[in-house]
Amino acid sequence: MRVIAGSLGGRRLKAPAGRATRPTSDRVREALFSILDGVAEARVLDLFAGTGALGIEALSRGAARAVFVERHTPAARVLQANLDALGLGPELAEVRRAEALAALQSARKRRETYDLIFIDPPYSQAGAWGAELSTALPPLLTLGARIVVESDRRAALELDADIERHRLYGDTTITIYRQP
C-alpha cells in the first residue's frame, strides 16, 4: 500500500498484521481522489482511520490538517508510525484513540468543524452506523462539506444526507454526501 499522489506520492504505508484492519485499496483511493477533484486546505476527519491511508492521501494532496480516529490499539500504533515515517507532525496530523461517537462528541464540544470526512467502518458493522452518524455529523460540517463513506455493497452504510456521487468498485461502495 502506498500514497498515490501529491507531496508524499509513492511513499509506502504500513498496515497492522491480521484482518482486523482493511485498508482502502490503491485503486479505490485513486478513483476517489479523482472524483473529489481537490482537497487543498481542507480540514479532514478520518473516522475509523485504520492505517490512515485516506487522511494521509488528503494531506499529501494539500489538505491543511487531518484528525484520525481509531479505537483499535494495534491499528492506532501503525497509524502513528506511518505519520512519523512521513514526517507528518502534530501540527498537520493528530491521532485520537477513541470510539467513533465519543470522538465526534468531543469534537463538537471543542467546536471543531471539517470540510471533508472519511468514514470507513468495519464492513460487518457498517449498516448499523447510519442513524447515529446522521445525527452526530451535521454540527461538525462546514458549508459545502463532503462526507465520503466506504462500505460493502451488501451492507452499505447510508446517511440521511444529500448524495453527490455513488460508485461501486467490486464489492466496495463509495458514496459521497455533500452538506448543503
Q: Give the residue among 30, 37, 165, 48 at the shortest CA–CA distance from 118.
A: 48
Entry pTM: 0.94
Strand partners, 116: 44, 146
Domains parsed from the chain with CATH numbers: 26-178 (3.40.50.150)
Confidence band for 18, pLDDT divided at 50, 70 and 90: low
Residue 22 has pLDDT above 70, yes or no: no
Grid cell locating 127 = 449498516
pLDDT tens-digit map of 138-178? 999 999 999 999 998 888 899 999 999 999 998 889 999 99
Measure the CA–CA gap between 77 and 178, rounded to whole angstroms.
31
Nearest CA to 150 among 53, 10, 13?
53
Which residues are CB-neighbours of 65 under 8 A, at least 6 positions away? Answer: 43, 44, 91, 92, 93, 94
Each residue's pLDDT tens digit, 25-48: 788 889 999 999 889 999 999 999
- Residues 18 and 88: their CA atoms lie apart, in Å, by 25
**Which burial class, exposed, middle or buried, applies to 138 when counting CB atoms under 10 A from its CB (0-12, 13-18, 19+)?**
middle
176, 165 Cβ separation under 8 angstroms = yes
pLDDT digits (tens, 9 = 90+) for 102-118: 999 999 999 999 999 99
Query: 146 and 36 in contact (C-beta within 8 Å)?
Result: yes
